[in-house]
Structure formats: C-alpha cells, structure tokens
Amino acid sequence: MHRQARLVRQVVAAVQARQELERLGWSEGRNVRIDKVFTRANLDQLQALAKQMVALQPDLIVAHATPIVAALQRETRTIPIVFVNASDPAGSGFIASLARPGGNLTGLQLYEASIVGKWLSMLKEIAPHMTRAAFVANPKVLTYPYFLRAAEPVARSLAIELVLSPIETPADIERVIESFARTPNGGLFLPPNATSTAHRDLIIALAARHRLPAVYAFRFFTVEGGLMSYGIDQVDMFRRAASYVDRILRGANPAELPVQAPTKFETVINLKAAKAIGLTVPPGMLVAADEVIE
C-alpha cells in the first residue's frame, strides 16, 4: 500500500506537468512526442541510461535528480536539459550561476543547503534527549559535501554530535545503522541522496527496529512508514518545470533562463511511527504540520 501511495503521488506530478504543457499549447500526438525513461537510482547504470537518452537526439530532456543530471551532462553539451530536484546545481558544475546558467542546462533547484537547519531542529524538537545524529548518505553522490558542510555548524549549535554514516549498499545501511544504534540518544538524519531513496524501505524498517527518530527530505518516506519529513511539493515542482519546457521549445535559450528555487514546502508527521518508537509529538509540531498520518 505504501509503495502504491508513492506511485500515485508520482503519477499526480506527471499528470500535472502534462496538463500544464497542454495548457501551454503542447499536446502529445499532435505537436510533441514524449519518451519516458525510468530507473531505480542505480548509480552504476545511470551513465549507460544517459547515453541511451542522448542517442535518441530529442529536442529537450527533462531530468529528475542530481545523479541523472550529472550523467546527462557528461553525454551532451548541446541538447537542452531542464532539471527538476537537483541540489547545488552550481556547485555540481551544471551551471555557471543561478541567475545565468550559461550552458544547456537550467531548471528547478531542489534544496538550498540552509534547509539542514530545519531538518536537524525537527529531530531535536521531537526527541529533546537526542545528542547524536547519524548523517546517512552515499558520499559518491555529488551533493554529499554540500549538505555535510551545512550540517556541521548547525549540529554544533544544537549540541548534536554528527556521526558520518556512509552508505552504498543495503549491507552498508544495515551495518551503519545497527552500529550507530548501540549508543543511546541517537537519531537519523537523511539528506536527499539517491542511495537512501532507493533503499528507503530498509532504512525505515531499521529506524523502527532500533527505535531511532529519523527526519527525511521527502514526503514519500513518511507516507511509507518513516517518522517525519520536511520537503518540497513535488507536484508544484513538475508543474513549474513545464513552463521552462514550453519556453525552450519555443526558442528560448536555457543559458539565459535563471534556475528557480522551490516555493512550496510541506511538513509530514507519522503519528503511528512516533508511537511505535515511544515518542510523543509536541503539540506545536502537530499544529505546524501540513499532513499528519495516523
């Protein structure tokens, strides 16, 4: 049921994007053809996938998430690419600057690094006794240092020891979380990362088994049983991306289209998950939440 819930959410985002394109005058089968390619975030296979996409010689590519954007950029510097949900696009080398991208890529940035303050503050608020937070992410993903650099001073200000917990495989995930859980007063901090997204079922299950509070960057983690999340409204992001697709197909230069920042965020709290690990959610957090799962 949880996996279906996320699928429905993704379908809603895709439908909204397509509806926005139709509103802007682009109808599949009439004046546009859309080829859809999906992957389960296997970093080792992304380059081959990007090569296949570029070989189709499309007029434009819409790319979702940082790893696939990086793979596509290595394959083409001419085909326009509109990215959705790419963190630190300038630091990752996708663009020259947010205001003037300067190449064949533009789109919508996922998160600014300062958002880590919100995630860590949520952890501390829901579990005031917490003194340690595992930074669970794959260090091979481009944005790993981006979020880590931002998290370190925030953690110090909250009297939280940030414990680096690098992961690449399911075995890594089990090992680092089980090792971390042996010391009390800990919590899990999961910034956006393709590896944790791909193995979220395992992470959610381990957090519950070891009674560890955890904060996630995407709503679907919480819908699928995680404790809480704060993140972008995916539907809104894809709807806004459609406007850039429209402008580029009509002749606009992606080099001159500024990268947009997210404008809609949502806090989701799973009361069932909180109860299972013995946590009482503070009333203020419940009032501020956009969605509460009971």
Q: Options 3.50.50.60, 3.40.50.2300, 3.40.50.300, 3.90.1170.30; which CATH number does 2-110+234-263 get?
A: 3.40.50.2300
The domain spans of the chain are 2-110+234-263, 113-231+266-293
Q: Which two tokens stand for residue 53?
A: 């996409």
pLDDT of residue 11: 54
Supply the pLDDT for residue 76: 96
CB 82 within 8 A of CB 107: yes
What is the reported pLDDT for 225? 97
**What confidence tens digit (pLDDT) does each residue in 96-114 have?**
999 999 999 999 999 999 9
Return the pLDDT at 7. 41
2-110+234-263 and 113-231+266-293: identical CATH topology: yes
Rounded to an integer, what distance in angstroms lies between the CA atom of residue 216 and that of residue 61?
Answer: 28
Q: According to DSSP H, which parts of the chain are helical?
A: 2-23, 46-55, 66-75, 116-126, 144-157, 170-180, 194-198, 200-209, 219-223, 234-249, 271-276, 283-288
Parts of the chain with a pLDDT under 70: 1-15, 39-43
Q: What number does CATH give the domain 113-231+266-293?
A: 3.40.50.2300
pTM for the structure as a whole: 0.86
Amino acid 42: pLDDT: 61
Query: N- to C-terminal Cα distance for the chain?
Result: 15
